[in-house]
Amino acid sequence: MAEQIPTVRRRRLGSELRRLREAVPKSLDDAADVLECSRSKISRIELGQLGISVRDTRDLLDDYGVEDQALRDYLLGLARDGKQRGWWDAYGQIIAPAYANYLGLEADAEYLRTFQSILIPGLLQTEAYSRAVIRANPALVRDDVIDTLQKVRAERQTILTRADKPARFWAIIGEAALRTPIGGAEVMRAQLDSLTEAVQRPNVTLQVLPYAVGAHAGLSGPFVIFSFPAVPNDSGVVFLENLSSSLYLETKDEVDGYTLVFDDLRSSALNPAESLEYIAVIADEFLPKKTRGK
């Protein structure tokens, strides 16, 4: 697993080095001459298959004429951190390589946009709701596994509350996610109340996509769009997941397509104020406040 963890940073560094090289423009052979290496090594670096040292990164940036200091610092930081393990490495074999890569993206992102049709987004889940979701997977039934995954989720959520530059988060949630009684009425009531508290943070925006909208742009399924700091014209990364695999989309056309879908969903959904009112109505349907604890 240790080899999998830096994959996201290597891939992002490599793709940006490729973009900068092509913008000059320079060939793979030109870059290989700078580092005194083979053409294939440059290709592997740009594909994220091979790491690159800080010194070699600096040499390429100099050769490409990159003067933007913020961009240079960001890319040199990726090169420096490429072999470092993330906080999630402490959880050992519980964290699969694919999940570790996702956590790397999430930790580095400056802005996250997500559409979730049937589940509350992980970054906004309460502990009780999260445990109920995990228990629903028959492959994850041991208490020690559940406890570990819950700790990971709690650690993930700190990107929204950290004092230093908390990530921006915009979630569009389908009505089904609000009405599916995961964990029972008490758990759902607490989860919906937690959503209304989360959006009090200036970096969190939430919209509800009600059933009444009918056909909508998100019918192909949930997704997450990650955007990163300091890289000009960076379109970001789209994450898609199913039961047995995950997929990262990184080309500009792919990310632009999902950005268009997100923007269309944002137009179709209730605005943030209306969404809070809608959530409150559904919360009372699960358990009116006056009856809680009785």
183 compared with 15, residue with greater pLDDT: 183
The pLDDT of residue 236 is 85
pLDDT in tens, 67-105: 999 889 989 988 887 666 667 777 767 777 778 778 888
Domain 7-81 identical in fold to domain 95-291: no
- pLDDT, tens digit, for every residue of 121-151? 999 999 999 999 988 877 666 777 788 888 8
Domain segments of the chain as ranges:
7-81, 95-291
Inform me whether the pLDDT recorded for 200 exceeds 50: yes
* Domain 95-291 top-level CATH class: alpha beta
Q: For the domain with range 7-81, which CATH number is right: 1.20.1090.10, 3.30.1600.10, 1.20.1630.10, 1.10.260.40?
A: 1.10.260.40
* Distant-in-sequence, close-in-space partners of 274: CB < 8 Å, separation ≥ 6: 208
**Is the pLDDT confidence value at 31 over 90?**
yes
Q: Kindly report, residue by residue over 212-236, the tens digit of the pLDDT.
A: 999 999 999 999 999 987 666 667 8
What is the pTM (predicted TM-score) of this model?
Answer: 0.81
Contacts 24+ apart (CB under 8 A), 21-27: 21/46, 21/60, 21/64, 23/64, 24/64, 24/65, 26/63, 26/64
